[in-house]
Structure 1
Amino acid sequence: MRAARYYGRKDIRIDDLPEPEVGPGMVGIDVAWCGICGTDLHEYLEGPIFCPTPDTPHPISGETSPVTLGHEFSGVVYAVGDGVDDVEVGQHVVVEPYIIGEGVDTGPDSRDYHLSENMNFIGLAGGGGGLGEKISVKRRWVHPISNEIPLDEAALIEPLSVGYHAVERSGAKAGDVALVGGAGPIGLLTAAVLKALGVTVVVSELSTLRREKAVEAGVADYALDPRETDVAEEVRKLTNGKGADVAFECTSVQVVLDTLMDALRPTGVLVVVSIWGKRADFDMHKLVMKEIDLRGTIAYVNSHPATIALVESGKIDLKPFITGKIGLEGLVEEGFDTLINRTETAVKILVSPSGEGL
């Protein structure tokens, strides 16, 4: 089978690999679609970050680079290993792509397995990846979905789960006003969860395409251009001078963080969703004087079932966010290069490892 593998910074190659073995407790999946994530772009430009090096194996997977990329993917079950009796061949599935150490409680009541030591992700630290034609995954991380959900849209359930967990962390509820800083894929999908819960959503975004996408998709009530509008002042106008109840930082850009701090009401909640590769210059005095509650969020924890339910119920439509589909051979030029250098033209680009559906 073919797979896109990460060898190091700016070095991704399409390799021919043996098909994965579907051992006991495993599920074999024909990958239908895999999204290109911002994390993949960071690995390509600045890595290795989550990916192992050629000399340093990941402590759980034991793998060194090269590793197959891709952690936002959907597919169809083609085989099940011994001991798996609740998933069937032909079933549509998505994957919660964790690499978690043995002995960590990943049961339905756990709220912290995603914070366990050496936690990492399938498609970054090993275990195969969604940018390969096939993958074998532990049953625990495989989530069946309705066959009525198109598989291209299903590939967005993983990043939507990131938004779901971020909203859960914020405590946002129906009737609140939320400000989302940045309308990239995670910002848009966080906004989608907020709208599904009955929250009024304001988005701040430089890209015209992404502002338009937020409004057209129905995930934002207001989409502001920070070059033309004082976002904090506009939010206060929209809230009778009060300010936003919750805010989500989805850019890792300093000026966005500052804007969110200004736009929040006293006792508001600021959730940092983006991965920062550098230290932020934070106004601690404003945090204290407004009694802002600052919260971090990473990935998801037992979030997939509720996220899938939102999609299956029709409360969230993922189709509007798909702006491109490519094959493996176009991964760097049509995929990575577009998302790095031409963000004005794309939101979420999906890859078909097999070429089917293109």
Structure 2
Amino acid sequence: MTTATTQDGSLPHSTENKPAPETSQQMKAVRFHGKEDLRFEDIQEPKCGAGQIKVVPAWCGICGSDLHEFIGGPSLCPTTPHPITGETVPLTFGHEFSGIIEELGEGVAEKWKVGDRVVVQPIIYDGDCGACQDGLINCCYNNGFVGLSGWGGGLSEHVVVPEYAVYQLPDNVGLDVAALVEPLAVGWHAVNISPFKITDSVLILGGGPIGLAVIQALRARGCNKIIVSEISSMRKQYAKDFGAHHVIDPTKDDIVAKVRELCDGTGVHVAFDCAGVQPGMDQAVLAIRARGTLVNIAIWEKTATFTPNDFNFKERGYLGVATYVKGDFEEVINAISDGRLDNAHKMITKRIELDQVLEEGFRTLINDKDNQVKILVKGSSEK
């Protein structure tokens, strides 16, 4: 087996960045034990090893993936030892987080210092598989995530991550907004790898956090025809506030007819599926013009079906999207800093404490989903 290096020259997880040993000190963390079993408990504080950086989380977002694991999992979280981390549930949650550097491991680059404000890119990858060798760490055949697959998570008082996972923040990007970089990077990456051009019309299925991230990514690129399909009245308003030019309701409107009406009778160039529901995808395919593309960002809970002829006869394309690649975090951070993602802060709809995650976080997202975009959990560095 060859030894790969990351693009910044550091060694990937499979070589130097082994899980940090634990200390005898205790810390608080939110741990996922299984379906509907989330606990705020004491665990061992991790120790910072060679090539690693220890971070005190400042703010951590609760992701839809976290919620799906809680409601019906474990599915993403390993129940047999993860091929890279070696861990299984129970695991500390939280993969959308910012923080303050509190310790540097041996061999970490001199550019870092204790007290630096940072955001963590949580992808875990082996560095050796074909996808990693091609630079596609998001498609690693053994991949995982900090906060879902092991190595701690942002819903804790301390976390240790490999150096390559840490990105420094400009002075004008707050630690709270920085916790949104991860979900914003998903939408940014989807637009990046899609065939979208500035003159194109776009349909977005779903006005949740990822749908809003796609809207913002498209606005930052100058798109002048963004159509959003959404049922919830509150999320319709969010879509408008974040820059959608047209918002339609699939329970009231004929989506295919309405989209064609808005697009000179031909349909949109690109559709982004951020909802992952069969009726939405069925309508989106037919709402795409000839040689247009359906871009799937949603994580589907069930097997989806489609009719190949709907793609063949109009030469439409289908593209799957997997999170983000190296470079996307930097681009999102820069876009927040220079004002292109000027609405990012509006995604924060609620702020809670670490000991409130279950009732004020997960329960709120289950029972008051339509009124929430992103709930942030305050970390110990913000106290």
TM norm structure 2? 0.88
* 3-state SS, counterpart of residue 18 of structure 1: strand
**Aligned partners of 1:77, 1:104: CA distance in 2, in Å?**
31
Instruction: Tell me the distance in 2 between the aligned counterparts of 1:198 and 1:41.
Output: 33
The farther-off stretch of 10-19 and 30-39 is 10-19
> Which residue in the other structure is 2:271 paired with?
247
Q: Which residue of 2 aligns with 1:348?
A: 374
Q: CA deviation at 1:30?
A: 1.0
Out of 215, 226, 244, which is 1:220 matched to? 244
Say whether the 8 Å CA contact 2:57–2:100 is kept in structure 1. yes
| Mapped contact 2:57–2:154 kept (Cα < 8 A) | yes
How many angstroms does 1:195 deviate by?
1.1
- The one of 233, 250, 253 equivalent to 1:208 is 233
Q: What residue number does 1:14 align with?
A: 40
Cα root mean square deviation, aligned: 1.7
| CA positional deviation for 1:71 | 0.3
Q: CA deviation at 1:110?
A: 4.7
Mapping of residues 69-84 of structure 1, within 5 Å: 69-84=93-108
Q: Structure 1 stretch 232-241 or stretch 63-72: which is displaced more? A: 232-241
State the secondary structure of the residue aligned to 2:154.
Answer: coil
SS in 2 for 1:90: coil
Map 1:1-358; keep pairs closer than 5 Å.
1-53=27-79, 56-84=80-108, 85-103=110-128, 110-199=134-223, 200-217=225-242, 219-302=243-326, 303-317=328-342, 318-354=344-380, 356=382
What CA distance in whole angstroms lies between the structure 2 residues aligned with 1:179 and 1:253? 15
Answer yes or no: is the 8 Å Cα contact 1:8–1:66 preserved in 2.
yes
Task: Report how far residue 355 of structure 1 moved.
Answer: 8.5
Inter-partner Cα distance in structure 1 for 2:75 and 2:192: 27
Deviation at 1:102, TM superposition (A): 4.8
Whole-Å separation in 2 of the counterparts to 1:111 and 1:168: 15
* Secondary structure, counterpart of 2:304 in structure 1: coil
Runs of 4+ aligned residues of structure 1 deviating over 6 Å after TM superposition are none
Return 5+ residue gaps in structure 1 as ranges. Answer: none
Structure 2 CA distance, aligned partners of 1:12 and 1:211?
Answer: 31
Structure 1 contact 338–345 (Cα < 8 Å) conserved: no
8 Å contact kept, 1:173–1:198: no
Q: Distance in 2 between matches of 1:207 and 1:227?
A: 10
Aligned residues: 353
Q: Is the 8 A contact 1:324 1:350 kept in 2?
A: yes
- Percent identity among equivalent residues? 42
TM-score with structure 1 length normalisation?
0.94
Pair 1:167–1:102, CA change in 2 (3 A):
closer
* Aligned amino acid, residue 113 of structure 1: I
Q: 1:294 to 1:141 in 2, by over 3 A?
A: same
Give the deviation of 1:106 after TM superposition. 9.3
Whether the aligned pair in 1 keeps the contact of 2:129 and 2:141 (CA below 8 Å) is no
Change (3 A) 1:104 1:304: farther
- Gaps of at least 5 residues in structure 2 are 1-26
State the SS of the aligned residue for 1:19.
strand
Distance 1:325 1:188 in 2: 19
